Structure 1
Amino acid sequence: MKTLNLCSYPNPMILPHRLSSPSLHNVIPPVRSQCSLTHQHPLRFAVLGAGFAGLSVVWHLLKRSPKELNLKIDIYDEVGIGGGASGISGGLLHPYSPKVKPLWEGAQCWNESIKLLRIAEEASLSRDCEIGESTEQYMKAFVVNKRGILRPAMDMKNMTKLNDNAKTCLPCCRVETLNNEEAQGLLPGVLLPFNTAFFMPEALNINPRHYLEELFLACENLVRNSSSHDSGEKQLSLHKTSIHGLSEFEGEYDAVIICLGAKVNMLPEISGRLPLRTCRGVIVHLEPPDDTRCYPEDGPSILSDAWIAVESSRSLNVGSTWEWKSINSSPNVSIDEASKALHELLPKASTIYPGIRDWVFTGARAGLRAMPPLTPLGSLPLLGCINDFIGRNHSCKYWLFGGLGSRGLLYHGWLGNLTAHAVLSCNEEVIPSELTSWKNIKPKF
């Protein structure tokens, strides 16, 4: 494997301010030698899926594994890094529900996601040292917009609820209440139906595909930099191959971590047995008709009945449609499907930003999301060991990290860390019970 000539990273304090997270308490205890860590042979892990969940798990497995441990990780994904639903998501990162209510463990999830973004930034800087491109160019490759996210109130009931929830906003990602004049100063041309909007200045807009590519590079760098005479050997490989069943991995691996999103239902051992619903979402891409009608420079992204994610002043993504029970995981969108999506999304987006009506449709892409069940704490992802769930005796442990729904970017950092810790310690109890209680839910057909 080719070795990079890495230059030294700059002081973290000069990284972009909004990606500089405060020091976190070590809320997840260090891995202790248990179970598979007592094996004398090198550990082999298979991670199925190279999206938000899979790459977060890989990073944390490498980072948390004992220095002396010989560890080989194989990633399996037929379309490669970020080629599935994660890579075509809107990339809007914030810790709130549509009603600006903090999500369960939202602050923890936010902080861990910011840490992974900074790790990916550092990998971008290492690439900059090798090929001589500008640092700013590579950081902009995935941290597209640091101008926050605007959430307009759409009716009186909605405005009352948003006002109440905004009072309990998280210090790590504030929510400010703006009137029409203040919102116009932030985003000229915006239309507020009830003269009120809620602004999250620290919220981010990420290009998810590029972010995942840089996070994978960070994993590769970690493997290369871990080799020394007093350390165990670490190996990382990516296999672009289809997965037809868990039986393919028997006898080869100590643990298999399933991070396949909606494609988890394609595994015969699991299909139809998880409390997940599938939902296909289409995103349309728009560009201005001429140079005089661009999106305002540094204008925030918008969350409303349809969201607007800003790639640049001349490039907007608008999403997303919701086609429940779809089994179509292809990112390709037919002319008919794209036309229907545009017809549905453009009126919703133009209600808040009327200038978008004249923009030109230039393409569409789609992803199939795995939506988890609703609990009293909200829609929480599914984690845990599933050996008992899938039955039979197995030569390795099978773990599930799935059901991220439409919040994969927020959840992937913390939950990837939890999953890695559980795998390395062979202890499901390190995972909060709220994330394993799905095992008590009977799927509805």
Structure 2
Amino acid sequence: MVLFDSSISPLTHAAKFSSPLLLSSLSHRPLRYAVLGAGFAGLSVAWHLLKESPKDLNLHIDLYDEMGIGGGASGVSGGLLHPYSPKVKLLWSGAECWKECMKLLSIAEQAVSSEEDFVSLSGEFDQDFGGILDRRRHFSALFLACQNIVKELSASGFGKKNLCLQKKSVNELRELEGEYDAVIICLGAKADLLPELAGKLPLRTSRGVILHLQLPDNIGEDYPDHGPSILSDAWLAIKGNRSLYLGSTWEWKSRNSSSNVSTDEASDALQELLPKASAIYPGITSWSFAGARAGLRAMPPLTPHGSLPLLGCVNNILGNDLKCKYWLLGGLGSRGLLYHGWLGKLTAEAVLSCNEQIIPSELTSWKNKDSRP
């Protein structure tokens, strides 16, 4: 906790602790943030920055993603919502993650239901354990929710809010230096490809292939109505009684972030995953291959609490002579859907207050010298 010295003026105190929020409020200049990545983490951070910032604050957010909304590894994921991990009996802080995740899902669904023209999004989310999310629907809906809150706050007569999608990549952080008050890096495995962070993050990369299977029209024994999605050695994400997604493979140390899957890679994935899936759902042997996509996971190191994401200010890693604050939200691995609501909120609150102590120490301990590669 930071104790304020009553003998120091508010402006001096703000400068001392490098708080762009307070400095912006006092000078009335717009506060500018860049959020890198428009997947689970980036969209959650953008939403919470808009929601948690004071109404009278002039705020501009640029959301960078060369693939567009949900175009990276998050958009390839199966969308299974599960609070348990095969390696950890109970996921660390699972209850808090679950609550914030469900809240963000509800916000996204409300945004869709209020838009008559938002008909391109179709799909349902089953809120029971093991439910399946139409992830692209969620990404588009959450971005729409961000746009709606910008309109609402700007129309209220208080501070002006802005959110702009920049459909381009950021290859080096130095490209942004001097342009923003803070940069929040939510790039998943691609964070380690930034030259300023390469080799400095304790992330393990793993390429995963997800298969799309469909039941042929001449077979009548479809997946039972209201049958659950299944999480096991292989997982089944059910998309109706004649369509499902099957995942996922693990190719450790891969640097291939392309979503495209070759014929040979798809064939290898089928050979690996079908025997596992048929052990829990024998009928899957009758289903036909309909396509495949792949993504590159960013897996954090294993701790006594499990594989925990990486959060915190990274100026000490990048160098202390920087003009703006750089923050990281990464290492969500294969549980981005569960983690994104709570961790996006924590990150936004830390950025707005310039106070890393808001974040639980378990999520920032990776920055200790002994824990880095």
- Residue 92 of structure 2 is aligned to residue 108 of structure 1: no
Q: 1:360 aligns with which of 270, 282, 288?
A: 288
Are 1:143 and 1:204, in contact at CA under 8 Å, matched by a contact in 2?
A: no
Partner of 2:358: 430
Counting only pairs closer than 5 Å after superposition, residues 300-311 of structure 1 correspond to structure 2 as 300-311=228-239
Q: 1:239 aligns with which of 166, 171, 176?
A: 166
Distance 1:229 1:435 in 2: 36
1:203 offset after TM fit, Å? 3.8
Counting only pairs closer than 5 Å after superposition, residues 303-322 of structure 1 correspond to structure 2 as 303-322=231-250
Q: 1:327 aligns with which of 249, 252, 255?
A: 255
Partner of 1:169: none
Are 1:404 and 1:411, in contact at CA under 8 Å, matched by a contact in 2?
A: yes
Tell me the alpha carbon deviations over residues 75-125 of structure 1, each in whole angstroms, 9 at most, x when there is no partner. Answer: 001101111111111111021112682211100000000000000100110
- Residue 37 of structure 2 is aligned to residue 56 of structure 1: no
Structure 1 SS opposite 2:51: helix
Structure 2 SS opposite 1:339: helix
Q: Which amino acid aligns with 1:387?
A: N
Are 2:130 and 2:228, in contact at CA under 8 Å, matched by a contact in 1?
A: no
Distance 1:242 1:432 in 2: 30
Partner of 1:412: 340
Are 1:276 and 1:443, in contact at CA under 8 Å, matched by a contact in 2?
A: no
Distance 1:334 1:59 in 2: 36
- Residue 31 of structure 2 is aligned to residue 43 of structure 1: yes
Are 1:142 and 1:208, in contact at CA under 8 Å, matched by a contact in 2?
A: no
Q: 1:385 aligns with which of 313, 316, 319?
A: 313
Counting only pairs closer than 5 Å after superposition, residues 33-432 of structure 1 correspond to structure 2 as 35-38=19-22, 39=24, 40=27, 41-98=29-86, 101-128=89-116, 130=117, 141-146=122-127, 148=128, 202-228=129-155, 230-290=157-217, 291-432=219-360
Structure 2 SS opposite 1:230: coil
Partner of 2:4: none
Are 2:60 and 2:162, in contact at CA under 8 Å, matched by a contact in 1?
A: yes
| Equivalent pairs, count | 352
1:144 offset after TM fit, Å? 3.9
Structure 2 SS opposite 1:436: helix
Are 2:366 and 2:372, in contact at CA under 8 Å, matched by a contact in 1?
A: no
Q: Which amino acid aligns with 2:21?
A: L
Q: Which amino acid aligns with 1:237?
A: C
Distance 1:87 1:293 in 2: 30
Distance 1:37 1:344 in 2: 51
Q: Which amino acid aligns with 2:82?
A: H
1:432 offset after TM fit, Å? 0.6
Partner of 1:151: none
Distance 1:92 1:67 in 2: 35
Unpaired stretches in structure 1, ≥5 consecutive residues: 1-31, 149-201
Q: How high is the sequence identity, in percent, across the aligned residues?
A: 65
1:403 offset after TM fit, Å? 0.4
Distance 1:203 1:355 in 2: 19
1:303 offset after TM fit, Å? 1.2
Distance 1:142 1:370 in 2: 27
Tell me the alpha carbon deviations over residues 232-274 of structure 1, each in whole angstroms, 9 at most, x when there is no partner. Answer: 0000000111211000111110000000000011111000110
- Compared with structure 1, are the counterparts of its residues 50 and 142 closer, same or farther at alpha carbon in structure 2 (3 Å cutoff)? farther
Are 1:371 and 1:404, in contact at CA under 8 Å, matched by a contact in 2?
A: yes
Distance 1:322 1:355 in 2: 24
Distance 1:239 1:263 in 2: 17
Distance 2:283 2:96 in 1: 37
Unpaired stretches in structure 2, ≥5 consecutive residues: 1-9
Provide the TM-score with structure 1 as the length reference. 0.77
Q: Which amino acid aligns with 2:55?
A: K
Q: Which amino acid aligns with 2:91?
A: L
- Compared with structure 1, are the counterparts of its residues 114 and 229 closer, same or farther at alpha carbon in structure 2 (3 Å cutoff)? closer
Provide the TM-score with structure 2 as the length reference. 0.91
1:126 offset after TM fit, Å? 1.4
Distance 1:287 1:231 in 2: 51
Counting only pairs closer than 5 Å after superposition, residues 4-23 of structure 1 correspond to structure 2 as none
Are 1:382 and 1:400, in contact at CA under 8 Å, matched by a contact in 2?
A: yes
Structure 2 SS opposite 1:238: strand
Q: Which amino acid aligns with 2:86?
A: P
